[in-house]
Structure 1
Amino acid sequence: METELLFLRDAYLREVDAEVIDVDHDERTLALDRTVFYPTGGGQPHDTGVLADLPVVDVRKEGGLVWHRLGGEAPVPGRGATVHGEVDWDRRHALMRTHSALHVLCGVIWNEWGVPVTGGNMEPLSARMDFEFNPLPEGFKERVDELVAAEIAADRPIEVSFLPRDAALEDADLIRTKVNLIPETVREIRVVDIVGCDKQADGGTHVRSTGEIGGVRIVKTENKGKGNKRLRIEVVDG
């Protein structure tokens, strides 16, 4: 049995009632039949919140199961129990805004300079992203600030869809974001499309439109070696 990942289809779900399908009492971890809690992955940190009236302190995906580590002193529920969970929404929504901001950044840099992203990581309302620049173009920061602000002002819809693997491999935008590196066992590809700006195969949580991101500031650029430049951003209220 696998955990159903409810957040893949609706990132705005905050609560869930689920069945415990496996438990490790020593580690205080539960695997559920369905979850709204995002597990660490793809550069996005795990959600926190409350599950079975205990704090959720870590969430990890192992194979087809999502494991929720619980804090507190009370015993964790056993296998077969029905539990209620609620995500820390302020943290989750901050991560959604941040993740969407990074996709906007990827989109404007690709559309303006044709340069791909090579890596990234995020925390709520702050993030870094690496690009294949050598060197950075003249006036880069100011131009990126301008382009990102324009995409946010346009309030572009952010759409989630699911494509058969073969169809995804024929999409030039998805090939650019290395969809071909996704294991062949994954036959359905989740696509996040900022309409008119950026399209990526992605498993993270996002806001519904770019206007919901707020504002984005590039706070620092760093040289991380030949052909690799790092941008650090902050997401602020618009």
Structure 2
Amino acid sequence: MEKTKLIYHTNSYTYECTARVVAVEGDAIALDATVFYPGGGGQMADRGSISWGNGDYEGNVIALSKRNDVIWHVLDCSPPAVGTEVVGTIDWMFRYKMMRTHTALHILCGTIWKEFGVQVTGGQMYPDRARMDFAIDNLDKERIAYIETKINEAVEADYPIRVYTLPREKAFAIPDLVRTKINLLPPMIEEVRIVEIVGLDLQADGGTHVNHTKEVGHIYITKAENKGRINKRLEIVLGEG
């Protein structure tokens, strides 16, 4: 089966595309191209719908998965047949919130790495907030206030964000490319996708992001939790973008 062209990897701002059904399994369809991000790395999967027959038929995408470079879209209706031309449309407001949130977490991660040199131990995005865990022993109120000031300085600096790929060997020659304590990149990946906040942060990453840090809006640190002697959690919410 041919690989799915991942339109969200080349342009996170694309919210609709035409594609062809290449396989059907139950209520799930595989397409030759998709705008739907299937979820991963703490980022939630996209929401949206797929229509066909000049819009006469439409189904909501209720689940997404990626298997062997193919994205599967589970519909809440009987799926179209192989060969059918369809139009996939994501919930743009939700996608854009995820883009802003994901970039906010990179700003947080990059700032804490730059200031304290500590790694990430976990992270998760939700519709209304996000959290990230760090291998750090001290996150008192003064330090949290300092971090919040620094991350919002990065937002206001309006750093550009570049997304590109590098051969695996060249990518891993970059110091500190992987910020998690455990390298989660499968060994079979030959090309590594890089997300760079120019002037602040550079990481291997597969999610969707905005083009400039100012798009993120103000970042508020709303909660800090102790998850172990050297494991602390910060929760963030975003202001209006």
What is the TM-score when the length of structure 1 is the normalising length?
0.94
CA drift at 1:135: 2.7
Pairwise mapping of residues 132-147 of structure 1 onto structure 2 (< 5 A)? 132-136=135-139, 139-147=142-150
Which of 94, 99, 110 aligns to 2:113? It is 110
Unaligned 5+ residue runs, structure 2? 52-57
- 1:146-157 equivalences under 5 Å are 146-157=149-160
Question: 2-side partners of 1:179 and 1:223: how far apart?
Answer: 20
**Ranges in structure 1 where 5+ consecutive residues have no aligned partner:** none
- Structure-2 change in CA distance of 1:178 and 1:81 (3 Å): farther
- Deviation, structure 1 residue 21: 0.9
C-alpha distance in 1 between matches for 2:226 and 2:156: 30
CA contact (8 A) 1:169 1:179 kept: no
2:25 equivalent to 1:20:
no
Distance 2:10 2:30 in 1: 20
Aligned length: 234
Local SS of the residue matching 2:165: strand
| RMSD, aligned CA | 1.5
Shift of 1:183: 2.1
Give the 4+ runs in structure 1 shifted more than 4 A.
Answer: 175-181
**Structure 1 residues 171 and 178, CA, compared in 2 at 3 Å: closer, same or farther?**
farther
Give the CA deviation at 1:76. Answer: 1.4
Partner-residue secondary structure (3-state), 1:172: coil
Matched to 1:208, the amino acid is N
Q: TM-score, normalised by structure 2?
A: 0.93
**Distance change (3 Å), C-alpha of 1:35 and 1:178:** farther
1:42, distance to aligned residue in structure 2 (A): 1.0
Give per-residue Cα distances to partners, 1:97-134, cap 9 Å, x unaligned: 00000000001101111111111000234101000111
Query: Residues 223 and 178 from structure 1, CA distance in 2 versus in 1: closer, same or farther, beyond 3 angstroms?
Result: closer
**Amino acid of the structure 1 residue aligned with 2:36:** F
Counterpart of 1:152 in 2: which secondary structure? helix
Matched residues, percent identical? 46
Alignment of 1:174-213 (within 5 A): 174-177=177-180, 181-213=184-216
Which amino acid in 1 is paired with 2:172? L
Aligned partner of 1:65 in structure 2 is 70
Instruction: For 1:154 and 1:109, locate their aligned partners in 2 and report how far apart those are by CA, in whole Å.
Output: 17
Q: Which amino acid aligns with 1:58?
A: A
Paired residue type of 1:145: E
Indicate if the aligned counterparts of 2:101 and 2:216 stay in contact, CA closer than 8 A.
yes
| CA shift for structure 1 position 179 | 9.1
| In structure 2, distance between residues paired with 1:105 and 1:169 | 22
3-state SS of paired residue (1:139): helix
162 and 110 in structure 1: CA distance in 2 versus 1, 3 angstrom threshold = same
